[in-house]
């Protein structure tokens, strides 16, 4: 698995001070060999390599998923690694890999079902082993077990070495900017949810989970940029469940966020959506890629709003975006290649399937359906490709 360097999370107040000081400081002079006539030789041009970021949909383990994980572990504990084996090369092969952890973790062995979910904490170990660097943790299920559920979840992710953003155990943690290294770039990750299923924020903890507020998202993105982030990625838990097309909120918010800029440089460089349980379109909005819905990467047999088993709930995509460095100093890191990788979760085997590699007719039909949805808003014309 590719080894990735992880930046230490920085407190927002501290990084803003550091960013201000950095703007005032000058780079130290570089020693130059003398050229003809005693003139200093021109410095060699600096080169910043690009990087690749992958992002996948919701991890929502319950029911038969946790039973299968127990079987993989030999009946004692849980092992989620085999479920993710098919996508491990894609995830570990990226410079930065982001997942979405939709449920909170219970005590060891706990698994509770609808409407409030707890999942085994060993999920974090499986995500780490697959190569994920970070997970968004803001969802409508973040408060399913109150502050205790948040604490157990983030503790387990910390133990596994997986960064997290969107929920917090303390006010200080909530004010931190999560910045990670991806190649030569510093990438900030922000995450928000459109609700918590009616559960109120814990008393005295208004910072426990980030709720969607466009003004706050822009402010946070600008603060991350001021703290030194080259790229700002925003994960949003939004939209309407079981709807292939983005809803009005998604359309409006994506336009608002991608239009926000300072001196022509956008505040947000990539938007990653979850919540609908089904794959949704990718679209370039105001020059910025938006994934309206990645779908559910790992989920039990899903029942839609009609109470009917819907196989779309086990379909998803991995988004893979290659970023190139700015052409000019202070410019934007641009997406030079955008791809989606269709996948599904096979409930019979308890494993993810990379549909691009699957050859049977059934897999081909699912792959084509996902492709049609992903490309339904003209992303192919903007260069989106189906990857492997």
Q: What is the pLDDT of residues 119-140, one digit of tens each?
A: 999 999 999 999 999 999 999 9
- Which pLDDT band holds residue 37 (cuts at 50, 70, 90)? very low
Given a contact cutoff of 8 angstroms between Cβ atoms, the answer to whether 110 and 86 are in contact is no
pTM higher than the cut 0.95? no
The confidence score (pLDDT) of residue 122 equals 95
- Each domain of the chain, given as residue ranges in start order, spans 48-386
Closest CA relative to residue 113, chosen from 122, 103, 123: 103
Which of 13-22, 78-87, 289-298, 312-321 is predicted with the least confidence, judged by mean pLDDT?
13-22
- Which pLDDT band holds residue 302 (cuts at 50, 70, 90)? confident
The confidence score (pLDDT) of residue 49 equals 87
Percentage of the chain surpassing pLDDT 70? 84
Beta strands 315-324 and 51-60: pairing type? antiparallel
Given a contact cutoff of 8 angstroms between Cβ atoms, the answer to whether 335 and 321 are in contact is yes
The confidence score (pLDDT) of residue 115 equals 66
Given a contact cutoff of 8 angstroms between Cβ atoms, the answer to whether 181 and 6 are in contact is yes
CATH number for the domain whose boundaries are 48-386:
3.60.21.10
The confidence score (pLDDT) of residue 108 equals 65
Does residue 13 surpass a pLDDT of 60? no
Please tell me whether the peptide bond between 123 and the residue prior to it is cis, using omega within 30 degrees of 0: no
Given a contact cutoff of 8 angstroms between Cβ atoms, the answer to whether 83 and 69 are in contact is yes
Does residue 20 surpass a pLDDT of 60? no
Q: 48 in helix, strand or coil?
A: coil
CA torsion sign, 268 to 161 to 321 to 379?
negative
The confidence score (pLDDT) of residue 346 equals 94
Question: pLDDT digit string (tens) for 175-188?
Answer: 999 999 999 999 99
- pLDDT, average across residues 253-278: 97
Average pLDDT of the chain, as a whole number: 88
More confident residue, 123 or 1: 123
- pLDDT, average across residues 359-376: 88
Closest CA relative to residue 382, chosen from 83, 161, 374: 374
As beta bridge partners, residue 343 has 316, 354
Q: Please give the C-alpha separations between residue 14 and each of 47, 226, 253, 280, 348, in angstroms, as whole numbers.
A: 29, 11, 30, 38, 50
Does residue 5 surpass a pLDDT of 60? no
**DSSP E strands, 9-149:** 10-11, 51-60, 96-101, 104-105, 118-119, 134-136
Does residue 356 surpass a pLDDT of 50? yes
- Which pLDDT band holds residue 46 (cuts at 50, 70, 90)? low
More confident residue, 175 or 329: 175
- pLDDT, average across residues 250-277: 97
10 Å CB burial of residue 206 (0-12, 13-18, 19+) is exposed
* CA angle at 243 for the pair 242 and 248, rounded to the nearest 5°: 135
């Amino acid at each position: 698995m590719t080894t990735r360097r992880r930046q230490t999370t920085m407190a927002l107040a501290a990084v803003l001070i550091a960013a201000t000081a950095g703007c005032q400081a000058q780079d130290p002079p570089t020693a130059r060999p003398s050229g003809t006539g005693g003139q200093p030789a021109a410095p060699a041009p600096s080169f910043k390599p690009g990087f690749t970021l992958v992002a996948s949909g919701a991890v929502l383990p319950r029911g038969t998923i946790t039973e299968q994980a127990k079987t993989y572990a030999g009946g004692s504990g849980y092992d989620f690694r085999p479920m993710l084996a098919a996508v491990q090369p894609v995830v570990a092969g990226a410079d930065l890999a982001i997942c979405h952890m939709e449920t909170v973790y219970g005590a060891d062995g706990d698994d509770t079902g609808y409407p409030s979910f707890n999942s085994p904490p060993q999920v974090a170990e499986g995500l780490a082993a697959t190569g994920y660097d970070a997970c968004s943790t803001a969802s409508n299920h973040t408060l399913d077990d109150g502050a205790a559920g948040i604490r157990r979840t983030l503790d387990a992710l910390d133990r596994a070495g997986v960064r997290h953003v969107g929920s917090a155990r303390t006010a200080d943690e909530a004010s931190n900017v999560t910045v990670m290294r991806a190649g030569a770039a510093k990438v900030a990750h922000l995450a928000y949810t459109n609700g918590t299923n009616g559960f109120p924020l814990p008393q005295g903890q208004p910072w426990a989970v980030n709720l969607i507020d466009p003004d706050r998202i822009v402010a946070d993105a600008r603060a991350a940029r001021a703290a030194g982030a080259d790229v700002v990625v925003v994960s949003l838990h939004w939209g309407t469940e079981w709807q292939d097309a983005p809803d009005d909120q998604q359309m409006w918010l994506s336009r608002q966020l991608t239009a926000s800029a300072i001196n022509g440089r956008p505040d947000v460089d990539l938007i990653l959506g979850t919540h609908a349980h089904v794959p949704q379109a990718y679209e370039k909005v105001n020059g910025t890629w938006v994934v309206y819905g990645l779908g559910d990467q790992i989920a039990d047999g899903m029942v839609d709003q009609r109470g009917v088993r819907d196989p779309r709930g086990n379909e998803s995509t991995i988004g893979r975006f290659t970023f190139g460095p700015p052409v000019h100093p202070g410019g934007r890191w641009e997406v030079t290649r955008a791809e989606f990788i269709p996948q599904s979760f096979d409930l019979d085997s308890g494993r993810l399937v990379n549909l691009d590699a699957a050859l049977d007719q059934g897999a081909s039909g699912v792959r084509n359906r996902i492709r049609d949805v992903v490309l339904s808003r003209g992303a192919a014309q903007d260069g989106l490709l189906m990857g492997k």
